[in-house]
Amino acid sequence: MIFFRYSLFLVLFLVSACTDSKDDSTMPLINENYALIPQPQYCDKKTDLFVINKDTRFLFSGKLAKEAAYFLKLIHLSSDFQLITVNELPEKPENIIILELEQSDKNDKSEQYQLSVDSEQIRIKSSSSTGIFRGIQTLRQMLPPEFHAKGKRKSWGVRGVLIKDFPAFKWRGLLFDCCRHFFSKKVVLKYIDLLAFYKMNTLHWHLTEDQGWRIAIDKYPELTRTGAWRKDKENSKYGGYYSKKDIKEIIAYAAERHINVVPEIELPGHSQAAIAAYPHLSCTGRQLEVGNKWGVFKDVYCAGNDSTFVFLEDVLNEVIELFPSQYIHIGGDECPKYRWEHCNKCQNRIKSENLKDEHELQSYFIKRIARFLESRNKTLIGWDEILEGGLAENAVVQSWRGMNGALEAADNSQFAIASPTSHAYFDYNLQAIDLAKVYQFNPIPSGLDPAKHRFILGGECNMWTEHVPDEDGLDNKVFPRLLAMSEVLWSDSVKRNYEDFYQRVQMHYPILDFMNVKYGAETVPVRLSAFTSTKSINIKLLKGAENLDLYYTLNDSLPSPSSSLYEGAIPLKKSATLKVLAFKNNKKYGSLFERKFSKHLANGLQPELSYSYSQNYTGGGDLAVTNGARGSLNFRDGNWQAVQKVPMQITIDLKSNKTISKLSAAFYQKQDSWIFLPPKVDFYYSVDGKKYTLINSVVNTISPEKGGEFIKEFSTNSNIVEAEFVRIIAHNITYCPNWHPAAGSEAWLFIDEFVVE
């Protein structure tokens, strides 16, 4: 084996600007209880101790110059000494760190490595520079958390170990959406470092959207001059983009850390920013603004216009010149067909290409782009909608609407990446996907023939940023859930144990603190169940983790350790606002839990429903509208019951004649999620349950075009009646109106409670 001395120039560069030691102690700082994430395939811990200090020598193969430079810089940033580089193994190989490149013909084991530590040597061996780099990350995790604080010390200790390791999946990625909200180059580089630390290997960079075009294209300057900026709140200008210089720097930084950067250029939908810059790319040719709302927009690239394909090929040519990645992601998801259905050019394309319908037109669009990419020796990746109308040959399917897309692709011997909303959407809150849920993820679809497992490349966690405007919010969403995804995609699933993993996560928080990661909670700190009767609403709180203390109030004040400590069910005899805060080791854990409860005459009574509620929005089941729990501005909070297209008729038998002063119900609107207030709500009463009398009809006065998310109460305005039966009919707008980006799609109607006072 031939080794080369590291160049004097590079060593001087790495050790320049050395500051004085902040710790004069010569005793090594040791991480006795290090916890590795992801867990290695084989790990045998020993009692030996290796000390890294001013006498430590460093030996590496010349082909590992970049990895050696990276490692030297890590040591330098946290030490007041520099490693002594040598060009051959000494006669007495003591106090030496070795990066050893082995010969191997196993191409599929390029990330495999072996790390051994004893009292005399640290040796990392692999057949590839990538494997060496993965081994370096493991060694980093074995060092004390203070090593990551970059505080200068005279020595560091590493306990003995023998690790033999390799990944379970080839594709281990994070989708980073920089379109809905723009993130600086510094943040992108930070996340590349974090991906590398946890042995992820792919940054899927979402660069174009309705709300912003983020990549400079020389041939089409309006894409960034116009398409990168939108009107935000109060008509202020919001946006940004990455220059080609920025992108080259990011790609080079990622390459040094063995991270592949895969660009996503979204088509044919999610393209309003590009259309705002060049209106001729749409079916109407009308001037549009860059999208400043979230959702799915009906204006998409015109599939019948050849100039659309000229534009896209020009753009992709420049993208290909920038990105060395074998893969180019083209999106292909959520493309409404409304414009195509009403476009003469698109209809002519359907006829001339003998296509069946607009779904096959989308397949034609994707296949045409796939052929172009293939001519440039690139492979197309698309979301699972690219299966509709026929899948392009050699295309890779990224399955997000569950696992069926991955199953279908693999069944047909085409490669797939698994990133379903059920486990991999990190923009979802912890109620939907917490740390344990991510850890349960299996990228192999159930029912897939074992002979086809090789077609599942791996998985991705997706970080969409509609509601994540800044770096702290990003960290809070991604961490610690990324740690679970990294282990799922790297480690042996048979050995997976959540309790063991959870304890290892706790030991990584000091490291993440030093890395300036503002991580969130592992799970929802508080879950609630209400057992409602006609006498009281009995609230049971469930801890998200055993080591939490829950403090609560039943008024407007915020809970603290001086408030009531939850020890058993809380009975409510009157309406109240429950507020709960969790504390872990006397430190606030997670966010405030707040829920309103209405105590009224219908509590606990069985309603008669005219509709079948959505299984995605049950509100808690049949008693959802009488259990007293009110909905919040998060329509996924579990308290909203919903239907599509049809009206809601709810009838309640009060079991005896009652004096009723008021009937009311609250409804929700978030029109960019297709949720609208009812245009009208009718209130009725009955003495016998047969003949119903209208009390009054309340017409909605708020426009369905009003943006944002809000709740509106509809009520009878205190018309006093005597009745045993009450009824509400909430009418549905039925379909998204013509002005809506999803015009023609079935509208949602959401209710939280039918209150009888």
The segment(s) of the chain belonging to CATH 3.30.379.10 are: 8-165
Average pLDDT of 534-562? 90
The confidence score (pLDDT) of residue 232 equals 87
- Separation of alpha carbons 512 and 503, rounded Å: 15
Q: Work out the number of other CB atoms within 10 angstroms of the CB of residue 568.
A: 8
The confidence score (pLDDT) of residue 535 equals 87
Q: Is residue 14's pLDDT more than 90?
A: no
Nearest to 595 by CA among 549, 527, 531: 527
Q: Is residue 162's pLDDT more than 80?
A: yes
What torsion, rounded to 10 degrees, do the Cα atoms 10, 13, 18, 24 define?
0
Q: pTM (2 decimals)?
A: 0.85
The continuous run of DSSP H or E covering 654 comes out as: strand 648-660
Q: Is residue 331's pLDDT more than 80?
A: yes
Nearest to 174 by CA among 430, 489, 431: 489
The segment(s) of the chain belonging to CATH 3.20.20.80 are: 171-514
Q: What is the per-residue DSSP string for 101-113? A: EPP---GGGTT-E
Q: What is the pLDDT of residues 435-464, one digit of tens each?
A: 999 999 999 999 999 999 999 999 999 999
CATH of the domain spanning 171-514: 3.20.20.80
Q: What is the pLDDT of residues 675-712, one digit of tens each?
A: 999 999 999 999 999 999 999 999 999 999 998 899 99
- Separation of alpha carbons 617 and 605, rounded Å: 20
pLDDT band at residue 108 using 50, 70 and 90 as cut-offs: low
The continuous run of DSSP H or E covering 117 comes out as: strand 113-117
The segment(s) of the chain belonging to CATH 2.60.120.260 are: 598-757
Stronger pLDDT, 42 or 584, i.e. the higher one: 42
Stronger pLDDT, 719 or 709, i.e. the higher one: 709
Q: What is the pLDDT of residues 347-362, one digit of tens each?
A: 999 999 999 999 999 9
pLDDT above 70: percentage of residues in the chain: 96
Return the CATH architecture of domain 598-757.
Sandwich (2.60)
Pairing of strands 570-572, 576-584: unpaired
Class of CATH domain 524-595 = mainly beta
Average pLDDT of 475-479? 97
Helices (H), 412-480: 435-439, 471-478
The segment(s) of the chain belonging to CATH 2.60.40 are: 524-595
CATH of 8-165, one of 3.40.50.720, 3.30.930.10, 3.30.70.360, 3.30.379.10: 3.30.379.10
The confidence score (pLDDT) of residue 105 equals 62
- Separation of alpha carbons 621 and 328, rounded Å: 44
**Residues 6+ away with beta carbon under 8 Å from 533:** 603, 604
The confidence score (pLDDT) of residue 2 equals 38
The confidence score (pLDDT) of residue 314 equals 98
Average pLDDT, the chain: 92
The confidence score (pLDDT) of residue 26 equals 66
Least confident span in 73-77, 223-227, 590-594, 691-695: 590-594
